[in-house]
Amino acid sequence: MNKSVLLMLLVLGAFACSEQKQPKDELPVYGETITTETDTTYHTIGNFAFYNQDSVLITDETVAGKVYVADFIFTTCPSICIPMAKEMLRVYDKYGNNSDFMILSHSIDPDYDTVPVLKEYASRLGVADSSNWHFLTGGETDVFTLGEKRYFVTAQKNEKAPGGVLHSGAFILIDGRGRIRGVYDGTDPAEVDKLMLDIDKLLN
């Protein structure tokens, strides 16, 4: 398993709500939880706004009420993005026509990954006309903050990393209320198989 993914899983594990005595077939909710006598507040991804490969503004309102999978990529990535794309295509092939499901792939090299570049990248993957898979670009600080503070994944500049950017290979499963319900190694077919089983649970 990718080291950054393993570290992220350990961090998320510390926040997982295992103490909530959930049924075995129910997915946990990841992130900090605040419980009072009258209510429980869960970590959510919160507000965001980025442009997709068609210059359409995609926000948290776009995915409200939908199950979605998020990842962090860049189009010139010479390493883990290649197997990640292959595995995400498997997810898309199964759920791409489901109106209750989306994929958000955030570029962590927005200076290079402009809207036309992302459109070409989507074309190479064969999903350029998809309404369910959005390749997102925006401010560098915004996307790094989103990755590390909201999704709890590695996303930062690092000259020693392949392509000059250090990022996680995680696929993050989000429910219709914006809560993290699972984290999976996007380079591992067995992990992605588990992801799809968990997507089924949320959709059903």
* CA gap 183, 141 in Å, rounded: 23
Q: Which residue has the higher pLDDT, 9 or 31?
A: 31
- pLDDT category at 161 given cuts 50, 70, 90 is low
Q: What is the pLDDT of residues 194-204, one digit of tens each?
A: 999 999 999 99
Do residues 72 and 155 make contact, with C-beta atoms less than 8 angstroms apart?
yes
Residue spans of the domains in the chain: they are: 3-18+27-203
Q: Give the pair of three-digit tokens for residue 77.
A: 């990535």
Distances (CA, A) of 48 to 26, 75, 133, 145, 161: 27, 21, 16, 10, 27
pLDDT in tens, 88-113: 999 999 999 999 999 999 998 988 99
Helix locations, the chain, DSSP H? 3-15, 81-95, 115-125, 140-145, 189-203
- Beta bridge partners of residue 83, listed in sequence order: none
CATH code linked to domain 3-18+27-203: 3.40.30.10
pLDDT score of 18: 38
